[in-house]
A and B are shown apart, each in its own frame.
Chain A
Amino acid sequence: MIPEIGHFALALALALSLAQALVGLVGAQRAEARLMGAAAPLAAGVLVTVLAAFACLVWAYVANDTTVLNVVQNSHSAKPLLYKISGAWGNHEGSMLLWVLILALCGGAVAAFGSNLPSALQARVLGVLALVALGFLGFILATSNPFERIWPPPMDGQGLNPILQDPGLAFHPPLLYLGYVGFAVTYAFAVAALIEGRVDAAWGRWVRPWALAAWSFLTLGIALGSWWAYYELGWGGYWFWDPVENASLMPWLAGCALLHSAIVVEKREALKTWTVFLALLAFGMSLLGTFLVRSGVLNSVHAFANDPARGTVILVLLAIYIGGGFLLFAWRAQAMLPTGVFTPISREGALVLNNLLLCSIAAVVLAGTLYPMFADLVLGEKFSVGPPFFNTAIFPLAVPLIGAMTLGPVMPWKRARLFPALQRLWWAALAGLAALVLCFAIEDNRVGPALGFGAAVWVILAAVADIADRIALFSRPRAAWARAKGLPRAAWGGAIAHAGMGVMILGLAGMGLATDTLRLVKPGESVALAGLDYRLIGVADAPGPNFSARRATVEVRDGGRLVTTLEPERRSFPVARMTTTEAAIHTTWLSDLYVVLGEERDGGAVLRIHHNPLAPWIWLGAAIMALGGGISLSDRRVRVSAPAAKAVKAGARA
């Protein structure tokens, strides 16, 4: 019964979306207040129905309802409760439902917090969002119904892929989708602006919080995915330039550019067409990512069971939304006249450079991701593009980006001079240079890590210098605290996000110095790596809730002092007939000690040991970046444009 309710709720959501799209777009075109006013309650209705459908699916998983095909294929009664719940979106159908749920949440948020928008703009934004929801709800109902029944019901399900049985599954997809789908709102704003033919500072102010929120969530989602791959796959790496990873990096890069160019629209009313273009591009990249991951053109842990019909439908949806958006852009972009004038060397100029470099990097990633597929389909040639390609092609673009990201914030709008800007950052530059030279000398003339450390120090200290300058920490230290409190949160957020980038670069540079070794050891024998001694004590059986494991005990000693005891495992899951390796990681914050248990033979066990300097700083830096985004989002000037008082009423009416 409950799965049928879920199915019905989905169909109802489809009908409500259709109504919302018609009411919003037609109402705004005819300027009929009653039609436009109906869009917000309808968005709330879509949210409620999709939420109901999602709740029904989660119920089916928690109750292990084996009459539902999706549950049978992806769940098992012996699974811990957390993985039963998160398993609901650990498959194609469920993850598409989560995608639509988050889209509905975005629609609900625009309906709730957007009551201060001009009513025509709000109605159009809701209409465009409903069009997107319509396509994806139709996709779910037509090709990927999560509530399909199976008869006769089997005794139990087939279990979830053991790699996905991890708390990461509970957070990584929702965060990532909040980012992906959050760009649907900026897309809707861009399309609405194109229809109206008007982009002004107010539009920039409305779009920026959405871009900020989506970007912050996407940052967290990607970082969490990277961390998950790091500890779960046991390969010792954090980023593999896998097409699935690239699919999430592209919208991040485009969103990052959008975030920065929206500042220029808001403050200076320049770069309008470019910002609209970026808003279309960011969502286009999100949809492309969804297509790559969900259509089955890629084979990875993300690509669940697939059939070609799904890929075709997503491709058609992609063509409609992106093609439609860009057609509209080509047709209407002329209508938007730039007003703010600036010289190349100014804060606007720095932001243009940032946009250019970010988009160039996104283009390189796009080419590297799509070209092998294109060549396979069209030329019949099979090859792949690995990390060496991305590293060599992106490095020259990242260097000026990181070099210039510190200069932008200290330059004035409209017209600036390079020398005074550099003058304000002289000690950061000096420290960065010192770090570079020092690392170059210590680490045997290795260029990559040395450049990384230099850049990290430069970026972090430049952010500090910027804040210190703004609160006059050195010139008038007594007034600094008062000024710090008075400084807009957006300034704090920006500086913190930039410093977070620096922290992440620190981690990346540290990982450039990572070492590893592989050894077959017998109990009692030890392996030395990076000045530490890893001694295998023994390997024993360890039972788990739905797996059995072999667990090694490895003592790590620094000279005579015991640093830690690591217990890497190999788990075998009888239901899925799979083995996974669980790496044991001990972090000292200066480095990660990372041990993986390999096969056992000849009375010993194979141990793979990694010494990863500064590894945790990569994800810490990403978290700081997202925190900066959050602080920026809490800026009073953003909140003024989004009052919450009327939102409660809008929600209650629904």
Chain B
Amino acid sequence: MTRKSRRLWLLLLCALGLGSATALTLSAFQDNLVFFRSPSDIAREAPTPERAFRLGGLVETGSVVRETAADGKPEARFRVTDGAHGVAVTYAGVLPDLFREGQGVVTLGRLGPDGTFRASEVLARHDESYMPPEVADALKKSGHWNPNQGAPPPAATWNTLEPAQAQPRRGS
């Protein structure tokens, strides 16, 4: 085998490898990107039930109900809000230690046809003062926090931000 044909072989192989990797990546992206949606996004345009996405916002104060399903599995119901809109969430599982009413939360799951979000994962971070960036962003969009007025208030005070007490909304 001459040097030229060997080089051709190598190039062909490389093109094949990179090409298939790109094709695989793109096709996997198409089906598996998990978008972030705030309650307002959902009110505007509800995602289809078969598409999983991440829902984030504040856990509405007074909305958390913990119960036990018929088969003995613990289940939690709560509402996630960004001030403007709220979405009902059910979750069969153990809520994380840092899950509190009024605090930021990100959940992964699908929206049922009845408009209830069925979460398969509830993420709360390892840190009490942590605000998920997506949630901070959603709050900004819904007018709960104007970045021009300074840094976001400490996480503990997000507790008091109930939808009913929302400040006058800026155009979003």
Contact = CB atoms under 8 A, between A and B. Distances in A.
B93 A518 contact: yes
Interface string B2-26: 0100100110011001101110110
11 contacts: A299-B130, A342-B6, A364-B25, A383-B35, A383-B36, A384-B33, A393-B24, A396-B24, A518-B73, A599-B94, A608-B93
A520 B3 contact: no
A11 to B, nearest CB: 33
**A-B pairs with the 3 shortest C-beta distances?**
A598-B94, A360-B21, A389-B32
A545 interface: no
A570 B6 CA distance: 62
A596 B103 CA distance: 24
B14 A356 contact: yes
A360 B35 contact: no
B170 to A, nearest CB: 18
Interface string B74-105: 10000000000000000011110110000000
A521 B74 CA distance: 10
Contacts of B144: none
A464 interface: no
A389 B126 contact: no
A393 B36 contact: no
B134 A382 contact: yes
A389 B6 contact: no
Interface stretch (A27-35, A115-123, A576-584): A576-584
Given A353-B13, A385-B29, A386-B108, 4 more contacts: A341-B6, A343-B1, A527-B72, A581-B97
B65 to A, nearest CB: 12
Nearest to A234: B94
B164 interface: no
A396 B20 contact: yes
Given A299-B125, A521-B72, A397 B24 contact: yes
Contact of B3 (A341, A343, A386, A397): A341
Interface string B115-158: 00000000001111010111001000000000000000000000
A161 B130 CA distance: 13
B10 A360 contact: no
Interface of A: 161, 163, 299, 301, 338, 341-344, 352-353, 356-357, 359-361, 363-364, 367-368, 371, 381-386, 388-390, 392-393, 396-397, 518-521, 527, 570, 577-581, 596, 598-599, 601-602, 606, 608
B68 interface: yes
Interface residues of B, number: 45
A389 B28 contact: yes
A389 B29 contact: yes
Nearest to A392: B28
Given A341-B6, A360-B18, A388-B32, A382 B137 contact: yes
B74 A598 contact: yes
B66 A364 contact: no
B110 interface: no
A343 B93 CA distance: 57
A579 to B, nearest CB: 4
A386 B34 contact: yes
B31 interface: yes
A579 B22 CA distance: 43
A360 B95 CA distance: 38
A356 B1 CA distance: 21
B72 A368 contact: no
B111 to A, nearest CB: 16
Given A356-B17, A382-B36, A392-B31, A520 B95 contact: no
Given A343-B1, A360-B21, A393-B24, A518 B29 contact: no
Contacts of A299: 125, 130, 132-133
A599 B94 CA distance: 7
Contacts of A519: 72-74
B126 A301 contact: yes
Contacts of B54: 383-384
Contacts of B125: 299
A36 to B, nearest CB: 36
B20 to A, nearest CB: 7
Nearest to A375: B33
Contacts of B32: 385-386, 388-389, 392
B17 A357 contact: yes
A527 B72 CA distance: 10
Contacts of B97: 570, 578-581
Nearest to B73: A518
A570 B95 CA distance: 13
B35 A352 contact: no
A521 B95 CA distance: 16
Contacts of B73: 518-520
Contacts of B132: 299
A386 B21 CA distance: 18
Contacts of B24: 364, 392-393, 396-397
B94 A384 contact: no
B28 A341 contact: no
Nearest to B134: A382
B94 A518 contact: yes
B126 A520 contact: no
A344 B74 contact: no
A359 B17 contact: yes
B48 to A, nearest CB: 16
